[in-house]
């Protein structure tokens, strides 16, 4: 299993399940900051058509191209199905944001051969590792 920083270094396209249009929420600020550092952010939110200048999708299954990482801003109870959906689209890694922990989601990810991170923040890990995708 890759480390959190290896996952970020290897990922270019991040699908964000639960991305928010509310600029005061972490589910908006975190993906926006990742985008500003060069990652392509694909928002997954059934209530909006566009976020961060990208088309938003109602589900992971609707995304028409591969994603490198599925980032989860949903409660732990919802994370189980999100991990199943991530496995179904062939995502190589899933990341549950700070405060989200699920033993069942971890088990599903491991059985699917996916890298798994939980209870950690993308932007904190990005900054700690000094990562950017900008030239």
Mean pLDDT (whole number) for 116-121:
98
Q: What pLDDT does 13 receive? A: 98
Asked whether 80 and 40 are in contact (CB, 8 A), the reply is no
Domains of the chain: 4-129 (3.40.50.720)
Q: What is the pTM of this model?
A: 0.97
- Across the chain, mean pLDDT equals 97
Angle between helix axes 122-129 and 26-36 (nearest 10 degrees) is 30
Strands (E), 10-133: 13-17, 40-44, 50-51, 54-55, 69-72, 93-96, 115-117
Q: Which residues have C-beta within 8 Å of that of residue 25, sequence separation ≥ 6?
A: none
Instruction: Assign 1 a pLDDT band (cuts: 50, 70, 90).
Output: confident
Residues 11-58: pLDDT tens digits? 999 999 999 999 999 999 999 999 999 999 999 999 999 999 999 999
Which pLDDT value is given to residue 135? 79
């Amino acid at each position: 299993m890759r480390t959190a920083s290896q996952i970020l270094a290897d990922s270019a396209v991040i699908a964000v399940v639960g991305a928010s249009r509310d600029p005061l929420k972490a589910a908006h600020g975190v993906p926006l900051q990742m985008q500003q550092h060069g990652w392509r952010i694909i928002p997954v939110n059934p209530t909006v058509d566009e976020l961060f200048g990208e088309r938003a999708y109602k589900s992971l299954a609707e995304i028409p191209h591969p994603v490198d990482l599925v980032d989860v801003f949903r409660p732990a109870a919802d994370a189980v199905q999100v991990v199943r959906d991530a496995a179904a689209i062939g995502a190589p890694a899933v990341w549950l944001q700070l405060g989200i922990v699920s033993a069942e989601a971890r088990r599903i990810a491991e059985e699917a051969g996916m890298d798994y991170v939980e209870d950690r923040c993308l932007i904190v890990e990005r900054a700690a590792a000094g990562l950017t995708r900008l030239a």
